[in-house]
Amino acid sequence: MNEEKKSVRCRDDFILQSGIGPELAEFLKECIDKPEIFYSIPFERRRDIENQMDTVLLSFG
């Protein structure tokens, strides 16, 4: 059980330290817990989120 809490803390720390906005960070946390959320949102919004995630990944080099 301790390992699970540690893992969640590390995930949250990574999301916060990656420099993404709070809205995207919250969305990512929700999608990790319930991936079906991503497919239930409108295509345009999903594309916007994908673009934001691409920008974050590109910033890591």
Domain count, the chain: 1
Q: How much is the pTM?
A: 0.54
Q: Cα–Cα distance between 50 and 12 in angstroms, integer?
A: 19
34 sits in the region (left: phi over 0; alpha: psi -120 to 50; else beta) called beta
Provide the residue range defining the domain that includes 26: 2-59
Task: Please list, residue by residue across 32-45, b when 16 or more beta carbons sit within 10 angstroms of its beta carbon and e when fewer do.
Answer: eeeeeeeeeeeeee
Span 24-60, pLDDT tens digits = 888 888 888 898 988 898 999 889 888 888 887 887 7
Collapsing DSSP to helix, strand or coil, 42 comes out as: coil
pLDDT at 23 over 70: yes
Residue at 46: amino acid letter: R
pLDDT at 1 over 50: no
